[in-house]
Amino acid sequence: MTCLMIDIGSTELSYKDEERLQNKLVGGVILFTRNYQSKKQIKTLTAAIRKIKKNILIAVDHEGGRVQRFRAEFTHIPDMALLGQVYDENQSEGRRLAKLCGQLIAYELGICDIDFSFTPVLDINFGTSSVIGDRSFHHQTEPIVELASSLMEGLNLEGMQSVGKHFPGHGFIKADTHLEIANDNRLLEEIQKKDMSIFNAMIKKNIAGVMPSHVIYTNCDQKPAGFSQFWLKNQLRGLMNFQGAIFSDDMGMKAAQIFEKDLVVRVKKALEAGCDMVLLCNQGKDIDHVLDKLEWKQDSDSIKRLLKMHRDSSKNKVSNSFPVNYSHESVKKNIIELKNLVKKLS
């Protein structure tokens, strides 16, 4: 298990994809909409990836709402904000539906031999972010913890781990780090009291993975969180005692490019800051330059953390003492009911 998670070009592996996957630095693959046509096709693709490297991690962004890479033949998971609306009316129903969403995500991805989704979003919806918005469960910390915990429970029931994002919190500022540099000028104490309290609660519930943001928190450190030893080693590992895997956000995002122009140096800085695995997406031939020039020795603790992110396929076969197909259809029905309920509440 090694330090880079890369993307692939299309719905099947090219010769170049196969060559890259064989590189010793590559320990993961992240899939996108361009890689998907149907469940049959994606199963063939994941099988081809594992034929090259059996223990590779295969992941996808499958939060629900506007961030769901696979749609045809998959259930459309609602925005997490809809779960927050239900929670405000009926807390137990909100938690139940969040758990069912987690089970459904894990089941549908699991049968395609995908290890995990980068979910849940743990950011607070302060009402200002151009990129978070309805991806967030709520504007208050307690409902976020409650709903994220339930979603994680559902994922775990089907053998899938969770990755909470975007540490220490991306919801306060308007800027979108995909497109621009982003500064959050709040004091550390305020961030700890609000945003970080959610991550702290989820760490105590044994969340397996965390993804830091590319935001610069100017009153704390002058580096984006994903490149900052202050945030990853001092705060996340030290103060919060997080023992799980740290995944960088994509190195191709504009905020990361502005921080460090040289891609090899950029990846190295993220690893040195404390990331266990760095996402390298949509970089074309520049990926080959990184694979050729990057020097990094993964330590044994980091390898162990990443190995724990593999899906437990034995749990993907049985759910709550019922055959999964039965549970799956029941969950799909509940998701449809959730959308109808929210329409009534709106």
Pairwise CA distance, residues 195 & 266, whole Å? 26
Active site residue 312: no
Pairwise CA distance, residues 172 & 215, whole Å? 10
**Cβ count near 221 (within 10 Å):** 17
Pairwise CA distance, residues 143 & 194, whole Å? 13
Active site residue 249: yes
For residue 1, give Cα distances in angstroms to 13, 24, 59: 21, 9, 14
Catalytic residue among 178, 221, 289, 310: 178
Pairwise CA distance, residues 187 & 37, whole Å? 46
Catalytic residue among 123, 195, 249, 250: 249
Give yes or no for a contact between 207 and 244, defined as CB atoms under 8 angstroms apart: yes
Nearest to 240 by CA among 153, 168, 144, 143: 168
Q: Which residues are catalytic?
A: 178, 249
